[in-house]
Amino acid sequence: MIEQITDLPAGVLGFRARGRVTAADYENVLVPDVEAAFALKPKLRLLYHAGEDFSGFDPGAMWDDAKLSMRHVSGWDRVALVTDVGWLRAAAKAMGFAMPGEFRLFGNAELAQARQWLISP
């Protein structure tokens, strides 16, 4: 399941992943919110939090994530991934160079720092 984090300033989107994330979660929550935000602003910042209750992605969700990132490849200003999930951290470290915009990885205890980094000029 994906839910939007709503207490972020304009131009910063946030999403929290819980349990198993499916393609339907991406298509019904994340993609419409991101597309609407890009319609209003050409550069966005994104906070993605996969906390302790996150258990993984379905293959379709991973594909939807890749498609969304590539569709707006020049539109991402900053992206913060907040997680302590080992395999997700390893994948982010390995592929961070290919992520659009400026990318930083944070642990769950650093959620406040991730938010601050995203809202700072």
From the list 31, 33, 24, the residue with the least C-alpha distance to 1 is: 24
Give the separation between CA 109 and CA 82, rounded to whole angstroms.
9
Residue 115, pLDDT > 90, answer yes
From the list 91, 84, 82, 89, the residue with the least C-alpha distance to 118 is: 82
Reported as a single tens digit per residue, the pLDDT across 29-74 is 988 998 898 888 889 999 999 999 999 988 777 665 666 666 656 6
The structural domain count of the chain equals 1
Q: What is the pLDDT of residue 64?
A: 59
Six token digits for residue 99? 């992520």
Long-range contacts of 99-106 (CB under 8 A, 24+ apart): 99/69, 100/69, 100/72, 100/73, 100/74, 100/75, 100/76, 101/75, 101/76, 101/77, 102/77, 102/78, 103/78, 103/79, 104/78, 104/79, 104/80, 105/80, 105/81, 106/80, 106/81, 106/82
pTM: predicted TM-score of the whole model, two decimal places: 0.89
Residue 27 sits in a domain whose CATH number is 3.30.750.24
Six token digits for residue 90? 């390893």
If pLDDT is split at 50, 70 and 90, which confidence band does 76 have? confident
Q: What domain range is 111 assigned to?
A: 2-119
Q: What is the pLDDT of residue 69?
A: 61
Four-residue CA torsion sign, 2, 44, 9, 89:
positive
